[in-house]
A and B are shown apart, each in its own frame.
Chain A
Amino acid sequence: MIVNAVGFQTLVQREMVRTFSIINQVIWPPVIQTLLYVFIFGFGLGSRINSVNGVSYAQFLIPGLIMLQLIDQTYSESSSSVFQGRFMNSIQELLIAPLSAIEIVLGYVVAGVVRAIFIALLITALGAALVHAYPTNWGLYVLTIVLVAVLFSSLGIIFGLLAEKFDHIAVLTTFFITPLVFVGGVFTSLQLLPPLLQKVSLVNPMFYMIDVFRNSYIGIGDVSLWLSLTIVTLLAVSAFSVALGMTAAGYKLRT
C-alpha cells in the first residue's frame, strides 16, 4: 500500500512542522477554550447539578470537551493545509513527486491523528488536574480519537479540495460541525433531554462520537458501545474513501 515510505513520512513531518509553526492557532486555543468551559460550565453551573451518569458534571463534561476541540481542530487543520497548498500551488511539490494518492491522503490523515492525540492528551491532563477526570479504558480512548481524527481529517481533505476560497471551508464548520457537536451530548446526557430531542439526537452522528468517547471515561454510554463504534467506523471509512477517490482522480489538483 505504501511504497514511498520516506515520502509519506516526510509529508507527516511537514504537517507537524506546520502545526507547531502555528501553535497559537492549533494547540493553545483548544486548551484555553476547554479551561473556560470547565470554569464556566463545570465549576459554575455544574455546582448546581448533583451528578450525571454517576460522575460530577465537570467530570462528565471533560470527554465531550475533548471531542469538541478534537473535531474542530482536526477538520480545520486538514482542510486549511490542503486548501492553502492548492491556493499557493505548493501542493505541486507533492504532485510531481513519486507519491501515490494513498500516500498523500494517509500523510495528511496520519498527521491529523498525531495532532488529535496531542491535543487530546493536553486536555486530558487538564481534566485530570482540574476535576480528577481520567480515562478508564485507554484502548477505547485511543481508538475513538483515531477514528474521529481519520473522519475529520478526511473531511478536511474533501473540503480543502472542494473549496474555491477560504470562506468555503468554514461552511461545514459553521453550519454542520459546530451545531451538531454542541447538540450532540457535549454538555448533556441523552437521558436528561425530552423524549423528542432524544430521538432527534440519535440521527446526529456527533452524538455517537461523544458517547463512545465518554464511555472510555465513565464506562457507560447512552447507547450501545458497539453501535456507536460501528457508526463512527463506517463514517471514518466512508470519508477516507471519498478523500482517496478525489485525490486519486486528481480532483482540482491535476488538470
Chain B
Amino acid sequence: MNGAVPALRIDRLVKRYGDFTAVDGISFDVAEGEFFGLLGPNGAGKTTTINAIVGLAHITGGAISLFGYDTVRDWRAARRQVGLAPQEYNFDRYLNIRDVLIFQAGYYGIRGKAVERRADMLLERFDLASKAKLVYTKLSGGMKRRLTLARALIHEPRLVILDEPTAGVDVELRLELWSMLRELNTKGTTIILTTHYLEEAEELCDRIGIIQTGKLVALETTQKLIGDGSLQDVFLELTRR
C-alpha cells in the first residue's frame, strides 16, 4: 500500500448482535483501483462487514472510512463514494427498470438530463435497453443480475461492492459479467467482491481477504495466497473449523 488515502479502510471493526460477535476486530485497507476479494464460508461475517461499510449495520466498535470519509461522522460523503450490488433482487416493484436507475440516482441527490443519459447508457451497456419500460419482475434472472450492477453504478461511485454477483447465473452470463467487471475496474473503479466461486476470485481479484468466524485469517495478493497450489486448497485449510 502506498501513502494515498485508501478507497476503504476498516480499522478494528467489531459488530455484535447481543452475545454473538459477527465481526471480531478485523482491519484492512483496499487501495483505490484495486479489485479486492472478500471470501469466507457462510456465516463468516462477510455480509455483516459489507452492511457495516454501506450503513445497513450499526458498528459496535472500530471505524470504517471510504476515501477518507468516516462512515459515521461523514456518512453522507462516505455513502456517495460507494455503490452496492446486493445478492438479492431488491428493486422497487412500482418502477420500470429505467426509473429504478433514475430514482436511485435521485436518492443520491442527482437528477436531470445527465442522469437520464447515464441510465440509458447503462441500460445499453448491460443489454437491457429493450426492457427499459418493464418492471423488474418481467426480467430473467440474468437480466436482474445485470440490473443490480447497473443500479449500483448509476451515481458513478468510486467503489462498488458486489455481494455474490454471479450467484445462480449460467456460465455464459458469468463470463460476460466477469468481462464487465474487468472493464469497470480497468476504468478506475475500485471493486470489492464477495463470492463462493473461488475460481471467480482467483480470476478477478488482485488481493484477497478471507474471513472465518468474524476474524480475518488471510490477507494477501491472490498470487501469494495461492502460491503453487489452488485457492480452494488454501481456503479449505484456513477455514476448516
Contact = CB atoms under 8 A, between A and B. Distances in A.
Nearest to B111: A6
A96 interface: yes
A137 interface: no
B108 interface: yes
A254 B56 contact: yes
A174 interface: no
B27 to A, nearest CB: 21
B103 A4 contact: no
A254 B107 CA distance: 18
B58 A97 contact: no
B80 A92 contact: no
B84 interface: yes
B56 A98 contact: no
B164 to A, nearest CB: 15
A3 B109 CA distance: 9
13 contacts: A4-B109, A5-B109, A11-B107, A13-B106, A14-B94, A88-B93, A89-B88, A92-B84, A93-B90, A96-B84, A98-B77, A99-B107, A250-B58
Given A3-B76, A14-B103, A255-B51, A97 B92 contact: no
A17 interface: yes
Contacts of B94: 14, 17-18, 21-22
Contact of A98 (B75, B92, B104): B75
A97 B108 contact: yes
A254 B55 contact: yes
B192 interface: no
Contacts of A93: 90, 92, 103-104, 107
B111 A10 contact: yes
Contacts of A14: 92, 94-95, 103
A98 B84 contact: no
Interface in B58-111: 58, 75-77, 79-80, 82, 84, 86, 88, 90-95, 99, 103-104, 106-111
A64 to B, nearest CB: 32
Contacts of B17: 255
Given A6-B109, A7-B108, A90 B92 contact: yes
Contacts of A92: 56, 84, 86, 90
Give the interface size class of chain B: 20 to 34
Contact of B79 (A11, A13, A97): A97
B56 A96 contact: yes
A94 interface: yes
Top 10 A-B pairs ranked by shortest CB distance?
A: A10-B106, A97-B107, A89-B90, A98-B76, A98-B79, A6-B109, A255-B57, A18-B94, A96-B54, A4-B109
A97 B105 CA distance: 9
Interface in A173-202: none
A255 B79 contact: no
B154 to A, nearest CB: 11
Nearest to A4: B109
Interface of B: 17, 48, 51, 54-58, 75-77, 79-80, 82, 84, 86, 88, 90-95, 99, 103-104, 106-111
Interface string A138-158: 000000000000000000000
Interface in A67-95: 88-90, 92-95
Contacts of B95: 14, 17
A6 B79 contact: no
Contacts of A255: 17, 48, 51, 56-58
B90 A90 contact: yes
- Residue with the greatest number of chain B CB neighbours at <10 A, chosen from A9, A22, A93: A93
Nearest to A5: B109
Contact of A254 (B58, B77, B90): B58
Contacts of B90: 88-90, 92-93
B58 A10 contact: no
Contacts of B56: 92, 95-96, 254-255
Interface in A93-129: 93-100
A250 to B, nearest CB: 6
A97 B56 CA distance: 10
A245 to B, nearest CB: 15
Contacts of B57: 254-255
